[in-house]
Chains A and B, each alone.
Chain A
Amino acid sequence: MNNEQTIGGYEAGLFQTHRPDTWWLEPLLTGLGFLSFVIYTTWAMFQGDYYWWSAGSEGFGGYLSPFYSPLLFIEESAAGSAPLLHAWFGPWPEWMPNLIPVTPAILILAGPLSFRLTCYYYRKFYYRSYFLSPPACAVAGVHQKDYKGETALLVIQNIHRFTLYIAIGFVAVLSYDAFLSFFRDGKFGVGVGSIILFLNPIFLAGYTFGCHAFRHLSGGRHDCFTCPQGKEKVSFKIWQGVSWLNGRHMFWAWISMIWVALGDIYVRLVAKGYWTDFSTWGN
């Protein structure tokens, strides 16, 4: 009780609050959710196999795990790897340092990961969940002797708009992969995998094009949407659309993150033969 004698009735120390609700639940669940994604992604990245499935056909079409796209280099000897024609730059090069594991995913995953790590929504939840700064509203967090926010080391967060440009490139590449998934040996068809890989770039686009940096660049940077003629600019309409997506940024962030992992899990299970891909191709 002695602690309650502080001015205003506030006690010092981590997690001190008078909130009787389950304030810890949201940071706990979001923290665990993202941690699970990071663990799975890291595991999948290091596998280097079973990221492609086309039922043995070598013609146009097939399922490619979103974690492995784009395929810059391919090690064809790996089980469940894509045919060499899908590599942007050919076989896994000999000049690649041995330090780098032979897995195409390791060359590209930093792109989308950097976009998510610098995203304003992700920053909110990981500052809360992992840095306890603060753990929840009106709950005492870790007191720092000289708190600097995002002015010192974390000034790096300002690269977010550059990671946005990379993310837009990934949406384009994954859209092509979605198109690819509707073909097998050059024949059009639909499989469960096609639907999963088709939804993937849609969710990613909802997340990427609703990002705060894109909202700013697409129109938010203007002070006047109608100047000088008094007519709405195209950028105003774009900004309105982006603002709609932005208002649901948390939804897009989670659904796109879960779905991209689901895409990898599905392709991996089918490629390993643990799961049958129901499709119009009849296999």
Chain B
Amino acid sequence: MERNFKIWRGDAEKGEFKNYAVKLEQGMVVLDAIHRIQVEHANDLAVRWNCKAGKCGSCSVEINGRPKLACMTRMNEFSPEEVITVQPMKTFPVIKDLVTDVSWNYEQNKMIPPFKPRKKKNGIDHVMYQQDVERIQEFRKCIECYLCQDVCHVLRDQDKKEKFVGPRFMIRLASLEMHPLDIDDRIPKIKNDFGSGMCNITRCCTDVCPEHIQITDNGIIPLKERVVDRFYDPVRWIYNKLFGNGAKQE
């Protein structure tokens, strides 16, 4: 069956939408269609991809206005007569066609204080129980596709990259802060440097996550509550002064 596509072509300076029609077979995904367009119509069409299995996070684009992985978006999601629009991610600078420069994310990652495990007692290896690691294992599913960064309106529309690290790095921070062995205290940085208060929890990051990580409910909101513990809750402050704050032990 022939399907119609409208794909943005261009670079950092200029560009435009171009229309393509290709015949597709049953079971194909949007990335297959893009590859066929490369073969049949535009062999200079740039698209980043790698595993084609939804695990490398490379083929992030916007399909019909929604941030998605091209390799995990099946063609039968669309009606036969629908024109499918494919664009590069809006939040990051375009390099060429559907490929964007996501290096800003790597810079954010470098700012995060790394895992700092507590000392072993009497040289005995740490023991962790499943109940304690389950919560942070969810965050480790992240494939760094940056779709959550792309859809986050603080970065996308308000362009506050200097004030907010974005949902991807909020869950990285959550995975470290909630780690049962980690002893570093990142809460002041989460509030002041990483911008937890910039997020107004409209949950689009959770909606687009291809790994179905509950970014907002399990990552960002718990971090916001920890910030409240530290900076906005006088009752908790008094409690901590009287009974100790349960600070992470060396």
Residues of A within 8 A of B (CB): 4-5, 7-10, 17-21, 120, 123-124, 127-128, 133-134, 137-141, 143-144, 147-151, 154-155, 158-161, 212-213, 215-216, 220-227, 230, 232, 236, 246-247
Contacts and interface: CB of A to CB of B under 8 A. Distances in A.
Interface of B is mostly: mixed
Nearest to A236: B131
A134 B202 contact: yes
Contact of B225 (A18, A143, A148, A220): A220
B82 interface: yes
26 contacts: A7-B14, A8-B87, A10-B87, A19-B65, A20-B82, A124-B201, A134-B157, A134-B204, A137-B202, A137-B204, A139-B65, A147-B158, A149-B199, A150-B199, A161-B228, A212-B225, A216-B221, A221-B225, A221-B246, A223-B177, A223-B179, A223-B180, A224-B132, A225-B129, A227-B132, A247-B217
A4 B12 contact: no
Given A5-B15, A10-B90, A144-B158, A149 B248 contact: no
B210 to A, nearest CB: 14
A150 B197 contact: yes
Contacts of A141: 153, 157
Interface of B: 8, 10, 12-17, 62, 64-67, 82, 85, 87-90, 94, 127, 129, 131-132, 151, 153-154, 156-158, 160, 164, 177-180, 182, 195, 197-204, 207-208, 216-217, 221-222, 224-229, 231-233, 246, 248
Interface centre among A160, A220, A223 (most CB of B within 10 A): A223
A110 to B, nearest CB: 20
Contacts of A227: 132, 180
B127 A230 contact: yes
Contact of A213 (B94, B197, B225): B225
A19 B56 CA distance: 25
Contact of B203 (A7, A124, A143, A223): A124
A143 B66 contact: no
Nearest to B10: A7
B154 to A, nearest CB: 6
